[in-house]
Structure 1
Amino acid sequence: MNVVTALKFYITKMTEESGPGMKVLLMDKQTTSIVSLAYSQSEILLKEVYLFERIDATVRSDGLKHLKCIVFIRPTKENVALLCNELRYPKYGVYYIYFSNIIAKADIKLLAESDEQEVVREVHEFYADYLAVSPHLFALGISACSQGLTWNPTHLHRTVQGITSVLLSLKKYPYIRYQHSSEMAKRLAEKIREVLGKESNSFNFRQESNPILLILDRRDDPITPLLNQWTYQAMVHELLTINNNRVDLSNVKGISKELKEVVLSGEHDEFYANNLYLNFGEIGQTIKELMEEFQRKAKKHQKVESIADMKNFVETYPMFKKMSGTVSKHVTVVGELSSLVGQYDLLKVSELEQELSCQSEHSAQLQKIKRLLNNPRIRDIDATRLVMLYALHYVKHTNNDITGLLDMLKKRGVPEKYTKLIHNVLEYSGVHTRQSNLFDREAVAKITKKLFKGLSGVDNIYTQHTPLLVETLEDLIKEKLSTQVFPYLGNMIMSRRPHDIIVFMIGGTTYEESLAVHNLNKQNPGTKIILGGTTIHNFESFAEEVQHATTGTAPRYRTRNN
């Protein structure tokens, strides 16, 4: 199970089925993102695709009848209408049409009626309707999926389509389990089962294992997306934001034109693929080694004294140039991360976040929060997230001082959009809504494990926290996951250990959870886990998720330059 491989297979097939010759790729906004995650522009050019167009663009190239057109769009009503119009007045010679998901027969009929000039050669369903971020991680690009703590109908429909596409592309017909405490999880599970029944011919696979689709709700673990992160990929997303593998560095002082936007993709950047899970200390050392290796090679290239040297230089120059770009990019990114960590005292903030999420020492933690709220170097968003963590942890504590901390935030001049989040997060995910006690998970069965961890020594005080997802998946792998808490849909119970698990988080997942799944896959070689979510959160997007879910309106948050 590998979502990147699944999508690349479809995109490769699309570009090759039309045969040799110059091609244009006609996409919509979503499929443009899907393709750009899987393939670099240079890789697509090798497939003889020389022009990229958007079907919804107001201005398009004039008729280019010598080009073959590969259409790759989502099967929405808007896209079908735009494509019908395209076929009535074709700009290109012939059309090969690929829908990213199941298309209604009525829509196929509309297209056939519009193809008066008979330019369409083929129409296919290629199930590439999700963002493949890494081999075990996918997202749907939905930034705030609920309204008033229930599904936004548009986002529910999109989520059903996205998960259906994942199942079809991986050729899995799963048992469905869902979080019993979540109405949203139950509703999504039922909608997916409807599709599995209605489209049973499409799901007619031979299966060697019995896969499980496990549907969870972000509201059961609001802690994970509130924490600052210290592994490379997660840290970049938290402090700089990764958007479809791209990072905007245009705000960095003195940045060169080439580095204003950089691409961080494990598929196209070997250094990133090998180091995205390293912690901040390790990545600094690895960058130093990369620099030293580059400097050694640069010195070698300075000695071009003979014909043989020149030939060697010409042969190795593309690799040298690529390495130069890799060094520049990662030195810039890590340098900016380092600057932000020092500028905003993030080590102090993170240490206290970890204490709030892993330990219960009310009075000591309250005093530490108050000290940090008085520290002018602490960003407003970090002050806010500390109070959010405190409120989630101690809302039932008899001596809690949520009101006092809120007053401190207001005196500090923290904008109202942040201070409101304290009450919003309690409404979104207070004690009454969670089926797990996040702050007292060392029940009798867990005590030994906790003590053992303490005796072994925590590797890093900044990474003590373990997402709730880990416990849930470990129990599932060991066949100990409660069928009361996570029931099967339709009273179907699997009788043996699962080998393929697709877990989906309504309300968004995180890179910390992606790392956890990566580690679980390594620790359990007989089991393959894929993680998906409506989006991939940092604090900014999670704040929007909470705000939207509890009030129905989503302001835009900024994590930098508060």
Structure 2
Amino acid sequence: MMQMKRTQTTLSPFKVLEDYFERMLQQVSGIKCLVLDVETTPIISLIFSQSKILKKDVYLIERIEMPSDGKMQHLKAIYFIRPTEENLKLLQKEIEKPRFAEYYIFYSNSVPNLTIESLAQIDTNDYIKEIHEVYADYYCLSRDLFSINILNTFGLTKEYTSWGQLDNQILQRTYEGLLSLLLSLKRIPMIKYLSSSEPCFHIASKLTKKLRDERDNNKSQLGADTKTLLLIWDRREDPITPLLNQWTYQAMLHELIGINNNRVDIERKMRAFNEANYSSKEEQMEKEFVVSDHDDQFYCDNMYENFGALADNIRNLIESYQTEQQRNKKMDTLADLQNAVNNLPELKKKSTNLNKHVTLSSEVTKLIEEQRVMAISQVEQEISSKEARNDQAKMVFDILNNPDIPKYQKLKLVVLYALRYENDDKIGRMKEELRKNQVSQDKLNYVNYAIEYAGKAKRSGDIFNTKNLGIRLLNNLKSAVKDVPNLFAQHKPYIMNIINQIGEGTLKESEFTTTDLHSFREKPNEIIIFIVGGATYEEAQHIGTMNRDKYTNILLGGTYVHNSQTFMSEIASIGKERKEEFGMNNSQANSFR
């Protein structure tokens, strides 16, 4: 078995994966079929478009669990799959009755020796020519963000002794994804983890053992001299950030429409919110768009911009396109005609891109108005960034009494208030108001579930600065003097405080334990933050802006990338489990209106 060689790199997983896939498709000559599984399909599609794959002499792309009929002895098969038992069984079945002339197996992570031996026993006619480990077992969403794409990790918040088979599988998949990232980047990091979090401890322990074995056995040329810090953190330390409405382009798209592996599906959102009024005219419009910072320069430049700046930049993009279009219509000479023909592909590309961003921004604008996001967001920012219990309670009641504001936004606001002021007697009155708004008891329970999931007793950090009176007064003062455009940008994710502590060397060992894999006293040159329970695009925006403006080298990852709907769904898992404990049926809501 061979491991694909990796060149030294900075924290740029996209470049690493692009290099992996480029060589994977090129080193197998001739016409071939690319076979993927349910996870490697989106993993490779985040890096290579289908058209780019087809340019590598790939005649056919299929899924391992849905093989096509008939033999194709003129094709070589490239299998890019995860090293799972299910995939092994499907591959063994394929080799027993081979459809292709040759097989090249690329596993997305480390492969047990038993897997190799079992394949060798079946492959009596040497159809399998090569087996590789490529360490591409994670989802690279942008230059600053990666994910393991596990939607619900609620089970990991239980006592370790209460974990079931699924919980252990989720922990194992999380560990495998992080291991793959580190091996692909060739890093032996100093590993710190949140001391109070059991899942963080178990992931850190498994990584430490495996990476120590890799280093000691010299299986990989892993560098420990890069001064890389891996910090494993728990989403429960900051349940506020995933609940907030957003005002930067990428984060707004995810909160209001939803981004799934860099794809935005407007049709799905339309149907979810207004099935009855979904018109045939809307069916004719383009419904799904790819938003990626590596092949869309406008998106790359504007993904972290606020909505006001985005509107100006889209206006400039329209004017630029119109100017170029007019220039291309000038055909006084043969040279003009030749230039017009040469410019057509680029002009078409710009037209498609312009249509995408105009459509997406128009949909976002419509949803902001429909859901009264500005009114809600102002109260959210007040609650999340400063302490003013009575004033904020009045704001919440005003929202609850406004018939134009959707029930989901009202419920979310009460959850936010309850997380800040857990024992406030006004929470009961707020729940009564929600009940008057026809919010069901199942949904009302989310308020209690949120406290049970990530309340004060579950958090070790000081997310609201309640322990430091000086900082709290300073935050209130800053909030009071902010100008109107910043009313929607008062909140800063708590992870940024942790990053600042790392930079200042004030991170407490009592809160963050260091494993015995690797250690250094100096300020880290590179930081990988991984959040068990999911990251957010707001956190990615703050880290990405810091990387750009302060030339830091920080990479953010999470088991998932949440918006408020998916995070509320995770919180609701508490109720689902409780009903299952008592033998009751439960249909958990994954969408809200």
TM-score calculated relative to the size of structure 2? 0.89
| Pairs aligned (count) | 555
- Paired letter, 1:141: N
Measure, in 1, the Cα distance between the counterparts of 2:497 and 2:387: 20
Measure, in 1, the Cα distance between the counterparts of 2:306 and 2:338: 40
Query: Structure 1 369/98 Cα, relative in aligned 2: closer, same or farther at 3 Å?
Result: same
Residue 314 of structure 1 deviates from its aligned partner by 1.5
1:490 aligns with 2:490: no
Cross-structure match for 2:72: 64
Cross-structure match for 1:219: 236
1:505 aligns with 2:520: no
> Quick one: which of 16, 22, 41 aligns to 2:26?
16
> Quick one: which of 377, 381, 394 aligns to 1:350?
377
Cross-structure match for 2:338: 311
Measure, in 1, the Cα distance between the counterparts of 2:41 and 2:316: 36
Residue 172 of structure 1 deviates from its aligned partner by 0.4
Measure, in 2, the Cα distance between the counterparts of 1:356 and 1:206: 45
Cross-structure match for 1:147: 155
Query: Structure 1 523/208 Cα, relative in aligned 2: closer, same or farther at 3 Å?
Result: farther
Residue 197 of structure 1 deviates from its aligned partner by 3.2
Cross-structure match for 1:101: 109
- Paired letter, 1:145: T
Cross-structure match for 2:314: 287
Cross-structure match for 1:242: 259
- Paired letter, 1:558: S
Residue 437 of structure 1 deviates from its aligned partner by 2.6
> Quick one: which of 32, 38, 46 aligns to 1:37?
46
Residue 303 of structure 1 deviates from its aligned partner by 3.5
Whether the 8 Å CA contact 1:101–1:128 is kept in 2: the answer is yes
Residue 28 of structure 1 deviates from its aligned partner by 0.2
Measure, in 2, the Cα distance between the counterparts of 1:339 and 1:222: 27
Cross-structure match for 2:449: 424
1:90 aligns with 2:98: yes
Residue 41 of structure 1 deviates from its aligned partner by 1.3
- When the two chains are superposed, the root-mean-square deviation of aligned CA atoms in Å is 2.1
Unmatched 5+ stretches in structure 2: 1-10, 271-278, 578-585
Cross-structure match for 2:133: 125
Residue 210 of structure 1 deviates from its aligned partner by 2.1
Query: Structure 1 287/86 Cα, relative in aligned 2: closer, same or farther at 3 Å?
Result: same
Query: Structure 1 273/256 Cα, relative in aligned 2: closer, same or farther at 3 Å?
Result: farther
Residue 448 of structure 1 deviates from its aligned partner by 8.7
> Quick one: which of 172, 176, 180 aligns to 2:191?
176
3-state SS of paired residue (1:38):
coil
- Paired letter, 2:542: A
Residue 295 of structure 1 deviates from its aligned partner by 1.6
Whether the 8 Å CA contact 2:234–2:533 is kept in 1: the answer is yes
Measure, in 2, the Cα distance between the counterparts of 1:482 and 1:530: 21
Measure, in 1, the Cα distance between the counterparts of 2:23 and 2:467: 50
Query: Structure 1 404/324 Cα, relative in aligned 2: closer, same or farther at 3 Å?
Result: same
Residue 261 of structure 1 deviates from its aligned partner by 0.8
Query: Structure 1 388/451 Cα, relative in aligned 2: closer, same or farther at 3 Å?
Result: closer
- Paired letter, 2:338: K
- Paired letter, 1:287: I
Residue 434 of structure 1 deviates from its aligned partner by 0.7
Whether the 8 Å CA contact 2:212–2:517 is kept in 1: the answer is no
Query: Structure 1 144/98 Cα, relative in aligned 2: closer, same or farther at 3 Å?
Result: same
3-state SS of paired residue (1:432):
helix
3-state SS of paired residue (2:510):
coil
Query: Structure 1 274/184 Cα, relative in aligned 2: closer, same or farther at 3 Å?
Result: same
Measure, in 2, the Cα distance between the counterparts of 1:304 and 1:339: 40
Measure, in 2, the Cα distance between the counterparts of 1:103 and 1:148: 25
Residue 517 of structure 1 deviates from its aligned partner by 1.2
Please say which of residues 190-199 and 509-518 is displaced more in the overlay: 190-199
Unmatched 5+ stretches in structure 1: none
Whether the 8 Å CA contact 1:88–1:117 is kept in 2: the answer is no
Residue 557 of structure 1 deviates from its aligned partner by 2.1
Residue 369 of structure 1 deviates from its aligned partner by 1.0
Please say which of residues 207-216 and 439-448 is displaced more in the overlay: 439-448
Measure, in 2, the Cα distance between the counterparts of 1:450 and 1:381: 29
Whether the 8 Å CA contact 1:547–1:554 is kept in 2: the answer is no
Whether the 8 Å CA contact 1:148–1:551 is kept in 2: the answer is no
Whether the 8 Å CA contact 1:3–1:137 is kept in 2: the answer is no
3-state SS of paired residue (1:173):
coil
Query: Structure 1 173/452 Cα, relative in aligned 2: closer, same or farther at 3 Å?
Result: farther
> Quick one: which of 487, 496, 501 aligns to 1:461?
487
